Amino acid sequence: MHKRIEKIEVFVFERPRDATYLGDLGEGQFALGDSHIVRRFNGTVYPRFDRSLVLRLTDTDGATGWGETYGLVAPKAAAALIEDLLGPYLMMLDPARPDATWDALYELQRVRGYWGGYLADTLAALDIALWDLYSRSRGESLQAALGKPGAGHLPAYVSGLPGASKAERLELAQNWQARGFDKVKIPVSHSDDGDITGEFYSLRNGLGDGQKIAVDVHWTCTADDAIAMANSLAPFNPWFFEAPVASEDIAAQHAVGKAIACALALGEEWRTEWDYRPRAGAASIVQPEMGHTGVTQFLRIAERGRKDGTQLIPHATIGLGIFANASLRAGLAAQAEAHEFQHTIYPANAVLLDGAATCDAGAFHIPDSAGHGTIPNEDGMAHLRPLLTL
Ligand code: MG
């Protein structure tokens, strides 16, 4: 008799923020209800606080695994999918085969065209928890279960410089550099009056030639505009050029990738390897987000990308940090080049977890503890609101 998943608990993680993610843009944003703001530069909604969906699985031996996915908008959508469909089926399956379980749960509705979105996010949370439970039950780390035993380090890049002026942003970057971080990424919105070339000029001169400086264009350009922007930045040797055009515009992604001199980075919005496949050859860096992909699809994207000669530099979103730690360990196993470091989110919420990787001197330091290594501590549990128990 195989073990079975006996209990599924779903929670919302919520925590107020001192400052809005990506900084306060003043006129550049407007409130949408009490919980969200919309940024005009890319039309995207962001929460006013940190929020994600967290879940715990318990098997018939009493072993547990923790998972997490996006909860920025409508976290109850994932809970409803678990209650109505995914939870009852998961309880019938063998939890010792997390990747086969992902395939079985996905297959339930693939012919109806449910290939991503909230469904895949929900699968990601379950998948992370299953991999955690699987590796913990074997007494080994997630990275060991994925073929790379032992503790390790992953270079970190500082994501965002939320200063109000060019001088403040340079000072922030220099402070990070002095602490050993030689990689930074700025969003295209962090410039004075849209002068991204002037921003790069300031950063390159202030940080020196050895600093890696990337830009996240946040899907704001046409292909022609993106190529022109990349050409204007070429004298400052950008590290990579991220998400320049609309997520769905595969032709534009290929056109930009072919035309620009620096690396094109894509992938934070992908859920599965099926999102990667038609874009193979466009990007030279793939950026899977564990909160969307889970461990199973993260690895499938990374493996396909590796065969195509791309680098792996995982994305990091807003959350408690369970998916971030799963991403660090899967990234370590898949030989990631570096990992995004959300310095305004990750350390603040890592204190709510026992066992989280630390980030200092330019790298994440990943322990050899069992599973993905993280469990909400007492303070963490106080920020988790129960949504559903099956
Ligand atoms: Mg991005």
* Domain harbouring 315, CATH code: 3.20.20.120
Q: How far is the CA of 226 from the centre of ligand 1 (A)?
A: 15
Task: Note whether 43 and 188 are same-domain residues.
Answer: no
**Distance between CA atoms of 343 and 355, rounded to whole angstroms?**
18
**Distance between CA atoms of 237 and 246, rounded to whole angstroms?**
24
Burial 286-295 (b: 16+ CB within 10 A, else e): bbbbbbbbbb
Q: How far is the CA of 317 from the centre of ligand 1 (A)?
A: 9
**Distance between CA atoms of 314 and 298, rounded to whole angstroms?**
9
- The values of phi and psi at residue 70, to 5°, are -60, 140
What are 41's two structure tokens?
């530069």
**What residue type is 353 in one-letter code?**
L
DSSP 296-336: HHHHHHHHHHHHTT-EE--B--SSSSHHHHHHHHHHHHTT-
Q: How far is the CA of 93 from the centre of ligand 1 (A)?
A: 35
10-residue mean pLDDT series, the chain (390 residues): 90 85 68 86 85 97 97 93 98 94 97 96 98 97 98 98 94 98 93 90 98 96 97 97 98 98 97 98 97 98 98 96 98 98 96 98 98 98 97
Beta bridge partners of 339: 156
Q: How far is the CA of 152 from the centre of ligand 1 (A)?
A: 25
Task: Note whether 71 and 92 are same-domain residues.
Answer: yes
**Distance between CA atoms of 11 and 239, rounded to whole angstroms?**
38
**Distance between CA atoms of 54 and 335, rounded to whole angstroms?**
27
Q: How far is the CA of 4 from the centre of ligand 1 (A)?
A: 38
Task: Note whether 371 and 227 are same-domain residues.
Answer: yes
Nearest-CA neighbor of 233 among 267, 195, 206?
195
Task: Note whether 108 and 181 are same-domain residues.
Answer: no
Decide if 65 contacts 132 (C-beta within 8 A).
Answer: yes
Decide if 60 contacts 68 (C-beta within 8 A).
Answer: no
Whether the CA torsion 267, 272, 273, 275 is positive or negative: it is negative
The pTM of the full predicted model, rounded to 2 decimals, is 0.96
Q: How far is the CA of 216 from the centre of ligand 1 (A)?
A: 5
Q: How far is the CA of 341 from the centre of ligand 1 (A)?
A: 12
Q: How far is the CA of 164 from the centre of ligand 1 (A)?
A: 20
Task: Note whether 100 and 152 are same-domain residues.
Answer: no
What pLDDT is attached to residue 44?
85
What pLDDT is attached to residue 25?
57
What pLDDT is attached to residue 24?
60
Q: How far is the CA of 386 from the centre of ligand 1 (A)?
A: 30
Whether the CA torsion 217, 222, 223, 227 is positive or negative: it is negative
Q: How far is the CA of 287 from the centre of ligand 1 (A)?
A: 9
Beta bridge partners of 349: none
Q: How far is the CA of 262 from the centre of ligand 1 (A)?
A: 16
Task: Note whether 128 and 209 are same-domain residues.
Answer: no
What pLDDT is attached to residue 340?
98
SS3 273: helix
Task: Note whether 226 and 112 are same-domain residues.
Answer: no
Q: How far is the CA of 44 from the centre of ligand 1 (A)?
A: 12
What pLDDT is attached to residue 16?
86
Number of compact structural domains in the chain:
2
Which residues 6+ apart lie within 8 Å of 161 measured at CB?
169, 172, 173, 184, 186, 190
Task: Note whether 232 and 344 are same-domain residues.
Answer: yes
Chain centroid, CA 225 distance in Å: 26
Q: How far is the CA of 64 from the centre of ligand 1 (A)?
A: 32
- Identify the CATH number of the domain in which residue 17 sits: 3.30.390.10
Task: Note whether 84 and 21 are same-domain residues.
Answer: yes
SS3 25: coil
- List the alpha helices (DSSP H) in the chain: 75-81, 87-90, 98-107, 117-137, 142-145, 166-178, 196-207, 223-233, 250-259, 273-276, 290-307, 322-333, 346-350, 378-382
**Distance between CA atoms of 302 and 288, rounded to whole angstroms?**
8
**Distance between CA atoms of 52 and 133, rounded to whole angstroms?**
20
Q: How far is the CA of 46 from the centre of ligand 1 (A)?
A: 13
Task: Note whether 71 and 207 are same-domain residues.
Answer: no
- Longest Cα pair distance anywhere in the chain, in angstroms? 65
Nearest-CA neighbor of 54 among 289, 349, 385?
385
Q: How far is the CA of 185 from the centre of ligand 1 (A)?
A: 9
SS3 22: coil
What pLDDT is attached to residue 21?
62
Task: Note whether 173 and 81 are same-domain residues.
Answer: no
Q: How far is the CA of 355 from the centre of ligand 1 (A)?
A: 27
Task: Note whether 232 and 282 are same-domain residues.
Answer: yes
Orientation of helix 250-259 relative to helix 223-233, angle to 10°: 30
Q: How far is the CA of 74 from the centre of ligand 1 (A)?
A: 21
Q: What residues are neighbours of ligand 1 (ion), with CB under 5 Å? A: 216, 268
Q: How far is the CA of 215 from the centre of ligand 1 (A)?
A: 9
- Could you tell me the residue range of the domain that residue 132 belongs to? 5-139+380-389
Q: How far is the CA of 242 from the centre of ligand 1 (A)?
A: 6
Q: How far is the CA of 63 from the centre of ligand 1 (A)?
A: 35
Q: How far is the CA of 283 from the centre of ligand 1 (A)?
A: 14
